[in-house]
Structure 1
Amino acid sequence: MSVLKTALQQQQFACVMEFVPKPSAERFAAMDAIMARRQLCGWPMTLAIGDRVSSPLDMSPLDALACFEHPVPALPHFSGKDRERHHLLAQMRRMDAAGQHQLLMLTGDRLPGHTPGKRPVRYLESVAALQIARQTYPHWWLGAALNPFKYREEEGAAQYLKAEKKLAAGADFFILQLGFDAAKHQEAMHWMRRQRAPKPMLACLMSLTQGRAGMLDHVAGVTVTPSMRQMLEAEAAQSKAFAQARSIDRLALQVIGVKLMGYAGVHLSGIHEPSQLLALEARLAHWQTQVATLEQWAPAWQASWQMPSLPAVTFHPPQAAWREGESRVVASFAQKARYHAMHGMHGLLFSRRNPVSQLFGWAVRQPMWATGLGAQVLHSVERAVKRPLLGCDTCGRCRLEDTLYTCPETCPKGLANGPCGGTTLNRCEFGDRECIHSAKYRTAKAVRQTDVLAQRLIPCVEQHNRHRSSWPGWFGGKVQPVTQPSAPRSRRES
């Protein structure tokens, strides 16, 4: 049994050390030395190995594991960037052969070079990946991500609704995205405790300095507010050593805080040298003797973010401060009217019950549409009708009924089950639009269909089914097979 699985099942606080694999012998040797300690303050340690963090050409998690001098307990990641079902299954087969039976599922941040409107890039989203993995390897220990650090109702509520899908799809534990807002850490824990079958959660933490705050500008979905930056700048102005010591002290306090909140462990990012781990361990030992309750912890945490002559730090953006449970937004008249119009049209043509739907179904099931030429014509007709209305990309299996008539293909990542973690104040990670899932949430709330966003698990669209009409299949008719694409050239599968 794995170190992480054992710790979580035995309710023992766990430390997961993040490792982004790069072809550097020094980097591997340093992490080897860190993992040789096996524990942090008596808490068991395991290694999380990132996947496609920078590029599709990054070393794979399994290749990285093979580069360590000594065997290390590991939690490999799987990122859905530019991936299909067969990539996930290939990685899992390799892992199974190596005796690795735990995996963290991530949709993944924007792939470098992915520009909307150019070559489409497919992302195997985490809900679908969880479904595939759970069906293929029922006994595996599977993790998922949650980003509670959202400050508009639409994006925040949509995160929690999607997390419910991840629970239903088979997630055994959650790891939060990196964040510093203690109120949001508590909010996420309260949400999990309300679930029918709560799962353990780990908080992703990092010691934050001015330099790292600048680096996080390029990490989607991480919030570092202006007042936080101002304080970090004041620390750096005193000295680099002073700023570094303060950042390690805050990290130790944050670890203590999330442990007191009920988190099952921490996912520590940015610790690359044994000296950094030893410094953290020393501050953890100090604070464990000083702080035993959240009431004792809160003022110490607040003080760690204060500097003389500076105003108090706030962790929410100046523009918004939504908390889970607050209800403020409403859909526009146009959004509601569009939903009702599309719902009425769908019922008329696709209910399979009324005469119009039955006639339409009969028409698209005719043998002529199952021929090569007929299939092309029908595909062109469906695309010509639906693309101007919905942004449809004729994916071969229409999911509009499950997405409140918001086409998933209008998301740059093609996500159907809910948002990724990269939104900021409802803006898409790509920056050129509002997140479609925020707009979808407003509509769902207005028409009292938010349960759809939490309960309907939408499988991935298979690569070989794309770019053909969905109509014959909807009515149970014969579908013209699409020629399977030639086997891809050799590439890293994981």
Structure 2
Amino acid sequence: MSALKQALNEGHFVCVLEVVPQQSPSRLASLAQILQRGHLAGWPLLPAFADRVGLHSDLSPLEGADASGNPASSLLHFSGKDRERADLIRHIASMKAQGLNQLLLLSGDRLPGHHPGQKPVRYLESVPALQIAREQCPDWLLGAALNPFKYREEEGGAQYLKAQKKLLAGADFFTLQLGFDAAKHREAQTWMAAQPISRRMMACVMRLTEKRAAVLQNVPGIVVTDSMRELLSKEREVSPDYASARTLERMALQIVGLQWMGYAGVHVSGVHTLDELLALEQAITVQRDSVTSLADWHERWHASWQMPGASPVCFAPDTDAWEMGQSNVVATRSERLRYTLLSSVHEQFFNRTGWLGKAFGWTVSQPLWKSGVAARALHAVERTLKRPLVGCDTCGHCRLQDTLYVCPETCPKGLANGPCGGTRLNRCEFGDRECVHSVKYRIAKSVDQLPVLAHTLIPNIEAGNRHRSSWPEWFAVVDSTPEK
């Protein structure tokens, strides 16, 4: 059993060091020193190799693990952007060949060069990826991501509904997005404790300097407020050494607080050398020895974000921020009307037991429509009818009945099971629209269908099955006669 799996099973705190694999001898040498040490403040320290988050010249997670000697404790990331089922299966086969069996499955950040309106880029999202990996590797340790740092009901509610799907799909643990809002860390723990299937969670941490804050403020899904940046700037004005000490103290304090909250461990980013690791360890020891309770920690945490002359720090992006338990939003009149119209049409034409549905099904199921000119004509008819109504891209396996008639093809990433982590106040990370999953949440809530968004696991659509009519498949006869 791996050290990570053992720690999660036995309830021991553990540290995972995120490594962005690079073709850099000095970076690899520094990593070797850290891995040789193997612990942080007495906690096990294990490497996690990120997938396509940096330059195109960066190594893959498998190459990064190989360059580090393939430590069995390695946690590999798999980002689904512009990937298919076959890519994941090949990745798993390569991991097996190297004796690796721990995988963190992510839908992935926006692919560089991906712009809506141009050629669509489809992502193997985490829910079907978890199902595929669990099917292929029943005994592997599989992780998924959760971003609780959401401040509108729709985006926050949709995050947790999708997380329920990830639990059902086979996630053994969750890693939270990088964040600094302790109230949201506690909120995520409260949510997990209420689940029928409960799993351990780790939280991402990073030393937040003024320079990093300027970069992270523009990273989708990460919340760095103006008041946080103002404080960091004022600390820097005192002196670089003062600012450095304060940022290190806060990172150490956050790690200690997360342990007090009941997190299984931390996913450490931005530590690249043994000296940085040792400095963090020393700071953790000081904080761990002095914090006496969670209440005491909260006081220290808020005090660490205060400074004379600086505005009070707020971790939420605005004052009207949503918290779990609040439930105020409803679908607009047009959203409700659209749902009612489309669900009525679906009930009439796609009910396999009604006379109109049977007639329509018989028509589109004829052999005539299976190939050639007729198949292309049927595809064109479906696309012509549905694209103006729902934004259909004729994926070949219509999922509208499972997505409250909000077409997943209108998501720039093509996500059907729920949102990615990159939204901000309901806005898509691409910035050109409201997140379609926020719309879907409002509709589901208004028509009492929220359980659909938590329990219906929608499979991935393979590229080879796209751009054809979904109607013949919908009405395909399934022979349920038992074998003799």
Aligned to 1:177: 177
Q: Which amino acid aligns with 1:18?
A: E
Distance 2:72 2:37 in 1: 11
Amino acid in structure 2 at the alignment position of 1:292: T
| Cα pair 1:47 1:72 within 8 Å, conserved | no
Report how many aligned residue pairs link the two structures: 478
Q: Where does 1:229-308 land on structure 2 (aligned, <5 Å)?
A: 229-308=229-308
CA distance in 1, matches of 2:215, 2:306: 22
Cross-structure match for 2:468: 468
CA distance in 2, matches of 1:345, 1:392: 16
- Aligned-partner residue type, residue 274 of structure 1: L
1:320, CA displacement in angstroms? Answer: 3.4
Contact 2:394 2:469 in 1 (8 A): yes
Cα 1:172/1:12, change in 2 over 3 Å: same
* 1:354-369 map, 5 Å: 354-369=354-369
Contact residue 179 and residue 205 of structure 2 kept, 8 A: yes
Amino acid at match of 1:282: Q
Shift of 1:57: 5.3
Are 2:195 and 1:195 equivalent residues in the alignment? yes
Contact 1:14 1:45 in 2 (8 A): yes
Distance, in Å, in 1 between the alignment partners of 2:88 and 2:55 is: 17
* Offset, 1:55: 5.1
Question: How far apart, CA to CA, are the structure 1 residues paired with 2:407 and 2:255?
Answer: 41
What is the SS of the residue equivalent to 1:66? helix
Residue 388 of structure 2 corresponds to 388
SS, match of residue 314 in structure 1: coil
How far off its partner does 1:292 sit? 2.5
Equivalent residues in 2 for 1:90-489, closer than 5 Å: 90-318=90-318, 320-476=320-476
Aligned positions of 1:38-57 closer than 5 A: 38-54=38-54
> 8 Å contact 1:47–1:75 — kept in the other structure?
yes
The Cα of 1:443 is off from its aligned counterpart by 0.5
| Aligned-residue offset at 1:416 | 0.0
**Which one-letter code corresponds to 1:158 in the other structure?**
A
Q: Look up the match of 1:491.
A: none
Q: CA RMSD in A?
A: 1.2
CA deviation digits over 1:274-306, x for unaligned, max 9?
Answer: 111111111111111111210111111111101
Partners of 1:169 and 1:457 within 8 A in 2? yes
Query: Does the C-alpha gap of structure 1 residues 195 and 233 become closer, same or farther in structure 2, counting only changes over 3 Å?
Result: same
User: What is the CA deviation profile of residues 330-357 of structure 1, one whole-angstrom value per residue up to 9, with x for unaligned ones?
Assistant: 1111100110111000000001111111
User: 2-side partners of 1:10 and 1:289: how far apart?
Assistant: 23
Please give the secondary structure, in 2, of the residue aligned with 1:263. coil
SS at match of 2:67: coil
Q: Deviations over 1:412-451 (max 9, x none)?
A: 0000000000000000000000000001100011001000
CA contact (8 A) 1:32 1:70 kept: no
**How far apart are 1:69 and its partner, in Å?**
5.7
TM-score, structure 1 normalization: 0.95
> For 1:106-143, what per-residue CA distance to the aligned partner results, in whole angstroms no more than 9, with x for missing partners?
00110110001111111100001001111111111100
CA distance in 2, matches of 1:445, 1:68: 48
Distance 2:62 2:247 in 1: 32
Residues 1:12 and 2:12 are matched in the alignment: yes
Contact preservation (8 Å) 1:35, 1:72: no
In the alignment, the residues of structure 2 paired with residue 185 and residue 251 of structure 1 have an alpha-carbon distance, to the nearest angstrom, of 15
User: Given that residues 225 and 315 in structure 1 are in contact (C-alpha distance below 8 angstroms), is that contact kept between their aligned partners in structure 2?
Assistant: yes
| Residue range with higher mean Cα deviation, 79-88 or 46-55 | 46-55
Amino acid at match of 1:247: T
Identify which range, 47-56 or 271-280, moves more after superposition: 47-56
Q: Kindly indicate whether the alpha-carbon contact (under 8 Å) linking 2:20 and 2:58 is maintained by their aligned counterparts in 1.
A: no
Counterpart AA for 2:205 = L
Deviations 1:157-204 (A, max 9, x none): 000000000000000000000000000000000100111121000010
SS where residue 114 of structure 1 aligns? coil
**Cα distance, 1:68 vs. partner?**
2.0
CA apart distance, 1:319: 5.2
Deviates most, 5-14 or 366-375: 366-375
Partner SS state of residue 44, structure 2? strand
Q: Which amino acid aligns with 2:10?
A: Q
Q: Which moved more, 1:237-246 or 1:251-260?
A: 237-246
Q: Distance in 2 between matches of 1:202 and 1:28?
A: 25
